[in-house]
Structures are given as structure tokens and as C-alpha cells.
Amino acid sequence: MRRREFLAMPAAAAAMAQTAPTQFQIACMTLPYAAFPLERALTGIRGAGYRFVAWGTTHMEEGVRRPVMDVEAPPKDAERLASRCRAMGLEPVMMFSGVNFEDRIAVDVYKKRIEQARAAGIGHLIVFGKTGGGDYGAVIGNLQAAAKYAEGSGVLLSLKQHGGNSATGEHCSRIIAEVGHPAVKMCYDAGNVLDYESHDPIPDIQKCWRDIRSFALKDHRNYPKDEDCGIGFGEIDHYKLFAPVMRTGLTMPVSAENISEPLVPRPKTPEGVDRLARRSREFLETVLAGLASQTEIKP
């Protein structure tokens, strides 16, 4: 992006220029390593040059699929896993809630996850809705109850685009406004906006950037095959995507969720995943450094 193009971005980006630079925490989720043990995921992510990690959902352990952190696990287990990550040089920054926010059990699950995240020192709990939507009133009520429980915990409930009630950033900002609690913010997933809704995330993020506190990164292609992929392999312009949030004054995790190449099979070895993880980090670092240079900011 040329300097004059950056300066021509909509007023949202210009408003950001009045604040301090955003401090991005470039992370990788363990999710791309789901076919391999968690330990191998962590060593691979650290070896690929990351200093931050987001906990995925499940991993294969001795031929059995096991959750990274079972919802019923005591907070002490999360504390131990976080200590294990830090001993390897990885700071955990995000984890999944694992429940749709329309579900009747959502509040109970959120409370358990908040306690786990607090014990682990994780500040961002990813929450999302059913891809087909559901009771909107339940969404607001469940998030309000969970937000009240999260007060003082240091844990944000971070709404992620997932179709239905959470289809786009604009939808998520509406939910955040109606919940009306500072513990509920947004984890922006541009790939899901393009995938589920065929909606361009660039104009969408202009409508919601003030609510964003983290990113779950994936890209998407509609041609020659409709599929998600790693950032830089798809149709989303990440220079335009990140431009509005370059000067928020916040510390903001940006975590690679999908790192796959389009059209070809996913790697069958962890070394193949390592290669893609490294490439995603390098691409993201290039984008953020380039944008920072246009505004005289060092990310």
C-alpha cells in the first residue's frame, strides 16, 4: 500500500492516527497441529519463531483425540499448561470457549472457561454463535451474565464471526452494544466473514474496528475452489484489513488459526505444518511492518 493510499483510507483509520501504536502479539493456534500431540504443536510453534500461542481445541494423543483443556478441568490444570507453555518460551494469549452463545448451558460453560483462563493468565476467551443462528435474546442474556461473572478477572469474552447472529463484525458490534459491558469485545475473523457470508471483510471492519481486541486469522478463496486457507493464500487484502487498527494504543493478539495452502492436501507430517506456521508468521510480520512504516510506527 502506498503512503497516499493509506492516507486516503476512510475516516475510521484517520481517527486511529490520534492515538498510540498498537502492540501486536503474533501468535499461532495449536489448531493446525490437531492431528499431532499438543507437545509437538507447542515445540513446532516455538520453532517456527512465535513467542505467543493460542490454545486450540483437540489433539491426537497416542491415537486418541483429547481436548487441550476439558471444560470440566479444574483451573489448576490450565495454570499448569500455561506454565508449561511459558517454560518453552510461549506466552498463552487466547483459548476457545467451545460452546455456542445461544445454548442454554452457555453461561455455565463460560464461567468454567473464565476460571481456567484467569488461572492460566489468558486474557481472551473466544466466543461465537451457531452458524445457522438462534435465539437472539438468549445471546444477549447469556453474554450479560457471563460478562458480569468476568468482572475483575482480566478475561475478555471475545466475539468471533461464525455465521448466524455473529455473521459479520457489524453483527458482533451490535451484540456488544446491546450487552453493554466492557468484558465483551471482538475477535475479528475475516476468513469467516468471507466464507460464511460471501461478505467482503474490508468494508465490514470499517464498521466495527473500535470493538476489536484480537484477531483469529484465516484467509479464504472462492476461486478456483471454495475453501479456507492461510493468510496470504486467499483473496483478503491484509494491508487493508489491518490499516484501521494500527493505532489503537492496545496490546492485541493476532493468532493464525488456519495456515493451509489452497487446493493441495494438508501436510501429513508435523514438519510440514511447521513450514506453514513459519510462513504465516513471516507474512503477518511483513504486513504489519509495512503498515507501520507508512505511519512511522514500530509494531
Specify if 299 maps to a domain: no
Dihedral angle over CA of 70, 71, 76, 82, nearest 10: 60
| CATH number of domain containing 95 | 3.20.20.150
Count: domains in the chain: 1
Specify if 252 maps to a domain: yes
Backbone angles phi, psi at 264, to 5 degrees: -100, 155
What pLDDT, on a 0 to 100 scale, did the predictor assign at position 141?
A: 98
Q: Residue 11 burial by CB count (10 A; 0-12/13-18/19+): exposed, middle or buried?
A: exposed
What pLDDT, on a 0 to 100 scale, did the predictor assign at position 278?
A: 98
What pLDDT, on a 0 to 100 scale, did the predictor assign at position 296?
A: 56
b/e map of 239-262 (b: 16 or more CB within 10 Å)? bbbbbbbbbbebebbbbbbbbbeb
Specify if 112 maps to a domain: yes
197: left (phi over 0), alpha (psi -120 to 50) or beta: alpha
Full residue range of the structural domain in which residue 181 is found: 3-294
Which H or E run includes 23? strand 23-29
Tell me the residue type at 81.
L
Q: Residue 263 has which C-alpha cell? A: 487446493
Specify if 158 maps to a domain: yes
Q: Residue 43 burial by CB count (10 A; 0-12/13-18/19+): exposed, middle or buried?
A: middle
Question: Cell 513467542 appears where?
Answer: 51
147 close to 116: Cβ distance less than 8 angstroms: no
Specify if 239 maps to a domain: yes
Residue pLDDT tens, the chain, 299 long? 344 433 344 444 444 445 799 999 999 999 999 999 999 999 999 999 999 999 999 999 999 999 999 999 999 999 999 999 999 999 999 999 999 999 999 999 999 999 999 999 999 999 999 998 889 999 999 999 999 999 999 999 999 999 999 999 999 999 999 999 999 999 999 999 999 999 999 999 999 999 999 999 999 999 999 999 999 999 999 999 999 999 999 999 999 999 999 999 999 999 999 999 999 999 999 999 999 998 554 33
Backbone angles phi, psi at 244, to 5 degrees: -70, -20
What pLDDT, on a 0 to 100 scale, did the predictor assign at position 18?
A: 53
Can you tell me the distance from the alpha carbon of 132 to that of 296, in angstroms, rounded to the nearest whole number? 43
What pLDDT, on a 0 to 100 scale, did the predictor assign at position 197?
A: 92
Q: Residue 159 burial by CB count (10 A; 0-12/13-18/19+): exposed, middle or buried?
A: buried
